[in-house]
Amino acid sequence: MSRNKELAKVLNRIADFLELKGELIYKINAYRRAARAIESLSEDIAEIYEKGDIYKIPGVGERIAKKIEEFIKTGTISKYEELRREFPEELAELLDVPYLGPKTLKLAYERLGVRSLEDLKRVIEDGSLAKLPGMGPKKVENIKKGLQLYLKGSDRMLLGEALELAEYVVSQLESYCERIQYAGSLRRMKETVGDIDILAVGDAGVIMDRFVKMDRVSEVIAKGTTKSSVLIGTRQVDLRVVKKDQWGAALQYFTGSKEHNVHLREIAKEKGLKINEYGVFEVGSGKRIAGEREEEVYEVLGLQFVPPELREDRGEVEAALKGELPEIVPYDGIRGDFHVHSNWSDGGFSIEEIAEAAKKMGLRFVAIIDHSKSVKIAHGLDEERLLEQIEEIERLNRKFKGFTILKGIEVDILPDGSLDLSDDVLSRLDWVVASVHSRFNEDATERIIAAMHNPYVTCIGHPSGRMLFQRDGYPVDWDRVFEEAARTGTCLEINAHQDRLDLNDVLVKRAKEFGVKFAIGTDAHHIGQFWMLRLGVGVARRGWLTKGDVLNYWDLRRIKAFINKKRRGLCR
């Protein structure tokens, strides 16, 4: 959906520029709301426009609809072009720096002449930024962190973005190839991806010609017969065409990780073998003994086949040698989504629309967990509205056959560790996710543990609070949290939203060792976002989880039994 993303970016930019100019907040917010909705659409905006459905997108009124139309017809929006010309070109880049809001940037621009990344660095270092009204050392510290995140993160992309790009390329080339598949960090489902590596078998001349001529290619970096590289937007895609009998070896080699491959090479050496992207060879005779299938490469080394998500040299080679790799969760067989927002808070769709869409996708249940009252910007629910929502869900559940809407809430964990809704109302729910949404600089261990001690809390939402490329999480003593989660029978969430992926793979693997159970939830605010479940499964696989560890693979009876065990105090 790159066109949707581009449009959302332009709308957000308009909002940023309006904010830099000091325009009225409601105008600015209208652009941001529309951008958020468009970004999360699963259908191409141009198709929605053709059908005359753009007014159905939440937040799109007449004025913004006109701008969308202009974007679809011309590829840009004149208002955006005008605004852009009013400011120095480099200033736009600064708008992407996390923690540096347009308001602060406006001050820094007007009073300190900040117009580039270098300028920003200078005013942080020399202390002048801290002296601006409303600033101070803590805010500057955050902006400094944001600048580091920005400089570090801008050359990588989110997993979701990479998947979309790779699937586009594969779909464009598929019919010209005997085989085609993406490899690299994307195949390993790493949370961020540097560049995209694609392997193919077939007529190299034809395939490479098609590759460099794809619609979305913005620049051809190199074109050859075995390897070509292009840019799509600013993202690099490498394509290699290999011989059919080398396919398995190449796929293994280019899937990586480098560390995993280095470890395999050591094992090969001990066995008198040599392994590279062309095959596995006997050192003395030079005879090739494997290479056509990827499985063969592991077989001849005496290893179990290692799924790509595990190939990080985090113990998988040792386990595979002993035949002790776990049977990790599959991409199919997910029965439900444990984290969905509806239009009762800041989601874009009604509960009924969500249930219909989820059912159509083959899910058996969703948990509706809107925000609770403390999260004011999201119109969080108070007790009264939550009780109304419970009634509505009960009404809908009588209607749906073979599908269940779980009554839930994403209840806010307050700074003192208490929750912002009463136990009385929480006790009427099926699924209670408790999340931290404030004080990101302070250690959150005690807050999380206090929430887990509430018998009605079934899950801790996005446990670390990190946002990829945007902010680090709050500090947490993880081992203590894992111990308490296991002891109290409280799940930890794998938030599958592409901006979060929280808990991350490494922490998931550690938590599993404590006996923690997990619930995957997309944090969807839109019915077009259920696809992100796949990203959550990727994290679960990278965390070595099996079906027994992840509630999404269980039937509702087993899930209810798990919840009731905690409620009845059996885990204490």
**Interaction site with Ca ion (CB under 5 A):** 184, 194-195, 197, 238
Q: Which is nearer to Zn ion, 291 or 521 (CB)?
A: 521
Smaller CB separation from ligand DGT, 235 or 512: 235
Q: Which residues of 202-233 are buried (b: 16+ CB within 10 A; e: fewer)?
A: bebeebbeebbeeebbeeeeeeeeeebbbebe
Site membership for Zn ion, residue 435 (CB under 5 A): yes
Instruction: State which of positions 295-324 bind Zn ion (CB under 5 A).
Output: none
269 binds ligand DGT (CB under 6 A): no
How far is Cα of residue 148 from the mean position of the Cα atoms in its chain? 20
Closest CB to ligand DGT among residues 147, 198: 198
- Minimum CB separation of residue 294 from Ca ion in Å reads 17
Instruction: Report in angstroms how near the CB of residue 538 gets to ligand DGT at its nearest.
Output: 14
**Per-residue mark of binding to ligand DGT, 197-216 (x: CB under 6 A):** x-------------------
User: CA of 39: how far to CAs of 45, 58, 367, 370, 377, in Å?
Assistant: 10, 12, 23, 20, 19
Residue 184 interacting with ligand DGT (CB under 6 A): yes
**Would you count residue 345 as binding Zn ion (CB under 5 A)?**
no
Cα 111 versus chain centre, distance: 37
Beta strands in 353-430 (DSSP E): 365-371, 404-412
| Residue 435 binding result from Zn ion, Ca ion, ligand DGT, none, given CB thresholds of 5 to 8 Å by partner type | Zn ion
528 binds ligand DGT (CB under 6 A): no
Return the sign of the alpha-carbon dihedral for residues 408, 413, 414, 417.
positive
Residue 224: which residues within 8 A CB-CB, separation 6 or more?
208
Regarding 193 and contact with ligand DGT (CB under 6 A), the answer is: yes
- Which residue lies nearer to Zn ion by CB, 163 or 481? 481
Instruction: Measure the CA–CA gap between 221 and 234, rounded to whole angstroms.
Output: 12
13 in Cβ contact with 89 (< 8 Å): no
**Closest approach of Cβ 349 to Zn ion, in Å?**
18
Pairwise CA distance, residues 391 & 453, whole Å: 27
Residue in 149, 160, 207 with CA at minimum distance from that of residue 186: 160
Residue 195 CA: distances (Å) to CA of 158, 161, 527: 11, 11, 29
Q: Which is nearer to Zn ion, 252 or 342 (CB)?
A: 342
- Is 258 an interacting residue with respect to ligand DGT (CB under 6 A)? yes
Region label for 112, one of left (φ > 0), alpha (ψ between -120 and 50) or beta (otherwise): alpha
Which range touches ligand DGT (CB under 6 A), out of 8-16, 220-228, 240-248, 251-259? 251-259
The C-alpha atoms of residue 38 and residue 8 are separated, in whole angstroms, by 6
Measuring CA to CA, which residue among 145, 125, 161 is closest to residue 5? 161
- Find out whether 116 and 147 touch, Cβ atoms under 8 Å: no
Q: How many residues bind ligand DGT, per CB under 6 A?
A: 14
261 is a contact residue toward ligand DGT (CB under 6 A) = yes
Residue 190 vs 534, nearer CB to ligand DGT: 190
Site string for Zn ion, 382-421 (x = CB under 5 A): ----------------------------------------
What is the three-class DSSP state of 57?
Answer: coil
Closest chain position to ligand DGT (CB): 256
- CA-CA distances (angstroms) from residue 559 to 336, 491, 516, 553? 11, 11, 14, 10
| Token pair listed for 487 | 């002891």
CA–CA separation, 417 and 484 (whole Å)? 15
Residue 369 C-beta: closest distance to ligand DGT, Å: 32
Query: Which of the ranges 13-21, 137-145, 225-233, 428-436 carries the binding residues for Zn ion, by CB under 5 A?
Result: 428-436
CB of 193 to ligand DGT, least distance (A): 5
Interface of this chain with ligand DGT, residues 413 to 472, rule: CB under 6 A = none
Cβ 410 to Zn ion shortest distance, Å: 5
Q: Which does 296 bind (CB under 5 to 8 A by kind): Zn ion, ligand DGT, Ca ion, none?
A: none
Q: Residue 461 Cβ, how far from Zn ion at the closest point, in Å?
A: 5
Task: Find the part of the chain contacting Zn ion (CB under 5 A) among 238-246, 431-439, 448-456, 465-473.
Answer: 431-439
Nearest to 316 by CA among 305, 300, 331, 330: 305
- Least separation in angstroms between CB 247 and ligand DGT: 15
- Residue closer to Ca ion (CB basis): 166 or 496: 166
Query: CA 278 from chain center: how many Å?
Result: 34
DSSP-assigned beta bridge partners for residue 241: 200
C-beta of 55 vs 305, nearer to ligand DGT: 305
Residue 194 lies near ligand DGT (rule: CB under 6 A): yes
Tokens 């086949």 correspond to what residue?
Answer: 305
Q: Where are the alpha helices (DSSP H) in 100-158?
A: 102-112, 117-125, 137-153
* Cβ 229 to Ca ion shortest distance, Å: 8
Q: Quick one: which segment of 250-258, 284-292, 371-379, 413-421 binds ligand DGT (CB under 6 A)?
A: 250-258
The residue ranges that bind Zn ion (CB under 5 A) are 435
Binding positions for ligand DGT, rule: CB under 6 A: 184-185, 190, 193-195, 197, 253-254, 256-258, 261-262
